[in-house]
A and B are shown apart, each in its own frame.
Chain A
């Protein structure tokens, strides 16, 4: 591919965008209560893998987290079972916020790579232009 630095950084941008999507989905559903008989909301994690022959990175698959959730005693909740328990997703807010920051910084870093790549190619074109 032409100007491969741009393409590689683009693949990383896509991966980080998908990671950000997954984190935002996890945070959005973090407080979903459900009945103890059913599964809790499962956190979504992206699995990134390197592309062949240095072609960047791609999302190999998405993995789902624990469906067991946390059992919380809330007897006045409409979904509470006979023991007064409901289920909340097993998602750690601090962990997700950390992932959010890492994903955002990764995205920004790769956006910088694109800019630097453009500057570099432009510098190459200036060679010999008196």
Chain B
């Protein structure tokens, strides 16, 4: 899985109140990069979990040669879920931090 880097925070537009603040805004993206990568990660996680579920069903119905394939898929799905949750929490944290900003 490749997780795209989090897009830079949009540059602050210059204000006319204080001269010289934010006169050189950082070139921002359209702001959808983080959402896109998060959606991609969710899709990937969903795939891993469905693989894990299929293997678990095969294991209990006796159609699986290698038991460890089922447990490995479960482990992989679990670690990916943790990664997903962590990334989402970090994103929400950053958002909340920005929302708390006051002039």
Contacts and interface: CB of A to CB of B under 8 A. Distances in A.
Interface of A: 2-3, 6-7, 9-10, 13-14, 17, 111, 114, 118, 121-122, 125, 129
Given A2-B48, A125-B82, A125-B83, A17 B72 contact: no
Contacts of A2: 1, 44, 48, 76, 80
Nearest to A14: B66
A125 B80 CA distance: 10
Contacts of B46: none
Nearest to B82: A125
A129 B83 CA distance: 12
A51 to B, nearest CB: 16
Contacts of A6: 72, 75-76, 79
Contact of A14 (B68, B79, B83): B68
Given A2-B80, A3-B76, A125 B66 contact: no
B79 A121 contact: yes
A125 B88 CA distance: 12
Interface string B34-68: 00000000001000100000000000000001101
Q: Report whether over half of chain B's contact residues are helix, strand or loop; otherwise say mixed.
A: helix
Q: Report whether over half of chain A's contact residues are helix, strand or loop; otherwise say mixed.
A: helix
The interface size bin for chain B is 10 to 19
A18 B68 CA distance: 13
B29 interface: no
Nearest to A128: B90
B68 A111 contact: yes
Given A2-B1, A2-B80, A118-B79, A125 B86 contact: yes
